[in-house]
Structure formats: C-alpha cells, structure tokens
Amino acid sequence: MKITKFGHCCMLIDTSTVLGARGNGVRILTDPGMYSTQQSEVKNIDFVLITHEHADHLHIDSLKALLKNNPQVKVITNRSVGALLKKDGITFSVVEGGQNFDANGVLIEGFGKDHALMHTSISPIQNIGYFIANKLFYPGDAFTNPGKQVEILALPVAGPWMKLSEAIDYALEIKPASCFPVHDGILKSPGSTHLIPPKVLGAKGIKFTVLEIDKEYEF
C-alpha cells in the first residue's frame, strides 16, 4: 500500500501493491479539507472518503475542483455529510458503521458513529471511520476500535477533542504494526506531538512514522 499525505487528514492511498489487489488496485483520497489544497489537482482518483462535515475534513470548493479533474470519482460518506453534498449537487453513496462496499475489488468497511465529544454542551456530529483493504484504519475524529487486527493506523494526534496522551493510549489499544500522525494540520509546529509518540509506542513494538507532505510512502 502506498500512502501520500497532502496535509492534516487528506491522504492519497494507492492499493496497487496490496497483495491480492485486483488489476491496478484503486486510488483513494480521504478528507479533502481546508488545511490542504493540492488534492484539488490530483488526477486518476477512484474514490473519495469523507469522515465528517467539519471544514478541516470537507472543503466544498476543493472537493468540487477535485471532481472536475476526476469526473469518474465516487464519493463515499455518511448521511450527515451527504445532506450537505446534496445541496451542492454532488453525487455520493452512503456507508455507515457496520456497512462495507467493494471498491473495484478493494474492501472498504465503515466503523463508528459519532465524532469524539468536544464538550458536554456540544452535541456530537456523525463521524465514520474507514478500514481499507484489511490493512489501513483511518478513524476520522474519534478513537474507534474496529475490533479486528490493524496493520496500519492513521493516528489523530491533535485537536480540540483530544489530548496527546489519549492518542498514544488509543494506539496502544489498537496495537497496529505501524502508525503515522494525522489531524496535525492545526499545529503551528508539531514539536513534541511528533516526538513523544515514537518513544512510547516504539517501546511497545509499534512503529511511528511522520509522513512528509507530498512524499509517497510504501507500507
């Protein structure tokens, strides 16, 4: 599996090297939000997965530009995001927690229901995590446990709904072979947010890799 991070939670996932992938695999883009814009220019995207409606995960203008450059793309999301897309005339398919679909031979499973609680006075919105090709789990803005073995975890490390210690505990709970930080576009400088996890997780046999923006990594 090849992964290129464009920023924050926007990733390009290429399954062409996944064992058992059909044909040339698929190219999947996650959460085209406001902290990354280069995704608008990417070509040959097959699917876009959107976890929830917050602007750092869904920037409508970026999504429209991406769809213009990739007219064949299929947008997958939950009902809440779908209601927003419908207003802009964007076609989509709904996948909720407990559901899955065949993405041209690649299994994509939905997990979870709600965004992590930010405050008791704020009602949580819908959030859907995605398990891709039985390898990569991206939970969106939640600490959802899919209840199955995770090889690669896209680990949220910063945000108004979490602490770094919670992110580390989440990774220890999931026990992936490797993980990399996401939801870090809000940080002016990552600093300890990228330095502490590898010390703790590495001691437990979990590899923590910081992905450089626009650089492709093979997992």
Phi and psi dihedrals of 136, rounded to 5?
-105, 130
DSSP codes joined into one string, 108-170: EEEE--BPPPS-TTSPPPB--EEEETTTEEE-SSS----SS--SEEEEE--STT--HHHHHHH
7 part of a folded domain = yes
219 part of a folded domain = no
Euclidean distance between CA atoms 8 and 4, whole angstroms: 12
Q: 132: which 2 tokens? A: 């891709």
Tell me the residue range of the domain where 167 lies. 2-214
35 part of a folded domain = yes
In the structure, what pLDDT confidence band is assigned to residue 22 with cuts at 50, 70 and 90? low
61 part of a folded domain = yes
Phi and psi dihedrals of 55, rounded to 5?
-65, -25
CB atoms closer than 10 angstroms to residue 189: 7
CATH number, position 130: 3.60.15.10
pLDDT at 134: 95
48 part of a folded domain = yes
Instruction: Tell me the pLDDT tens digit for each residue of 157-206.
Output: 999 999 999 999 999 999 999 999 999 998 877 777 999 999 999 999 99
Share above pLDDT 90 across residues of the chain, in percent, rounded to a whole number: 86
18 part of a folded domain = yes
pLDDT at 190: 78
pLDDT at 75 over 70: yes
Q: What is the mean pLDDT of residues 154-159?
A: 96
176 part of a folded domain = yes
30 part of a folded domain = yes
- Counting the structural domains of the chain, the total is 1
